[in-house]
Amino acid sequence: MPDLLLELFSEEIPARMQGRAAADLKKLVTDGLVAEGLTYAHAEAFATPRRLALAISGLLKETPARREERKGPRVDAPEKALEGFLRSTGLTKEQLEVRADKKGETYFAVIERPGRPASEVIAEVVQGVIANFPWPRSMRWGAGNLRWVRPLHSILCILSEEGQEPEVVTFDVTGIVSGATTQGHRFMSPGTITVRDHDDYVDKLEAAHVILDPAARADRIVHDAEQIAFARGLELVEDKGLLAEVAGLVEWPVVLAGKIEDRFLGLPPEVLQTSMKEHQKFFSLRNPASERIEGFVTVANIVAPDGGETILAGNQRVLAARLSDAAFFWENDRRKSLEEMAAPLAEVTFHNKLGTQGERIARIAALAREIAPMVGADPDMAEQAAKVAKADLASEMVYEFPELQGVMGRYYAMEAGLPQPVADACRDHYAPLGPSDDVPTEPVSVAVSLADKIDMLTGFWAIDEKPTGSKDPFALRRAALGIVRLILENSIRCDLNSLFQLSFVHRLEQFPEVFNVFVYDGDEPSDQLVLTAFGEHSPVDPGKDYFLLFESPRNLYLGDDEMAFLNGEPKPFKLPKPADLAYDLMTFINDRIRVHLRDRGFGFDIINAVTYLGGQDDLALRTQRVEALQKFIDSEDGANLLTAYKRAANILTAEEKKDGVEYSYPPDAKFAREDAEKALFAALDAAEPEIDRALGAEDFGAAMTAMAGLRGPVDKFFDDVTVNDENAIVRRNRLCLLNRIREAMHKVAIFSAVEGG
Is 591 within the bounds of a domain? no
Sign of the Cα pseudo-torsion (532, 536, 538, 541, in order): positive
Is 311 within the bounds of a domain? yes
**13: domain CATH number?**
3.30.70
Neighbours of 618 (CB within 10 A): 19
247 shares a domain with 106:
no
Query: What is the C-alpha separation between 85 and 109, in angstroms, rounded?
Result: 9
Is 190 within the bounds of a domain? yes
Query: What is the C-alpha separation between 332 and 567, in angstroms, rounded?
Result: 51
Q: What is the model's pLDDT at position 524?
A: 52
Q: What is the model's pLDDT at position 82?
A: 86
Sign of the Cα pseudo-torsion (729, 742, 666, 668, in order): positive
237 shares a domain with 196:
no
Q: Which of 295, 314, 334 is the last residue of a domain?
A: 334
Q: Is 417 exposed, middle or buried (0-12, 13-18, 19+ CB in 10 A)?
A: exposed
| 103, 74 Cβ separation under 8 angstroms | yes
Model confidence, pTM: 0.77
282 shares a domain with 170:
no
228 shares a domain with 194:
no
Please tell me the total count of domains within the chain. Answer: 6
Is 589 within the bounds of a domain? no
563 shares a domain with 422:
no
Q: Which of 468, 494, 509 is the last residue of a domain?
A: 509
**Mean pLDDT computed over every residue of the chain:** 88
713 shares a domain with 657:
yes
Q: Within 13 Å, how many C-alpha atoms sit on residue 161's CB side?
A: 10
Neighbours of 638 (CB within 10 A): 22
The number of residues in the chain equals: 757
Query: What is the C-alpha separation between 9 and 544, in angstroms, rounded?
Result: 72
Is 595 within the bounds of a domain? no
519 shares a domain with 381:
no
Query: What is the C-alpha separation between 139 and 151, in angstroms, rounded?
Result: 8
Query: What is the C-alpha separation between 753 and 13, in angstroms, rounded?
Result: 54
Q: What is the model's pLDDT at position 566?
A: 45
442 shares a domain with 380:
yes
- 535: Cβ–Cβ under 8 A, 6 or more apart, which residues? 542, 575, 576, 577
520 shares a domain with 503:
no
Average pLDDT per block of 10 residues along the chain, 757 residues long: 94 95 96 91 96 94 82 85 85 85 84 85 95 94 89 95 89 93 93 93 96 96 96 95 95 95 94 93 94 94 92 93 94 92 93 89 94 95 96 95 95 95 96 89 97 94 85 93 95 91 75 52 49 45 58 58 50 62 88 91 92 86 93 91 90 91 91 92 94 93 92 91 91 93 92 84
Q: What is the model's pLDDT at position 96?
A: 86
Range of the domain at 724: 601-753
Cα-based angle 592, 581, 370 (whole degrees, multiple of 5): 80
SS3 breakdown of the chain: % helix, strand, coil, rounded to 5? 50, 15, 35
740 shares a domain with 614:
yes
380 shares a domain with 309:
no
Q: What is the model's pLDDT at position 358?
A: 93
647 shares a domain with 628:
yes
Q: What is the model's pLDDT at position 547?
A: 63
Is 29 within the bounds of a domain? yes
Cα-based angle 637, 638, 640 (whole degrees, multiple of 5): 65
Is 596 within the bounds of a domain? no
**380: domain CATH number?**
1.10.3210
Q: What is the model's pLDDT at position 469?
A: 82
Is 593 within the bounds of a domain? no
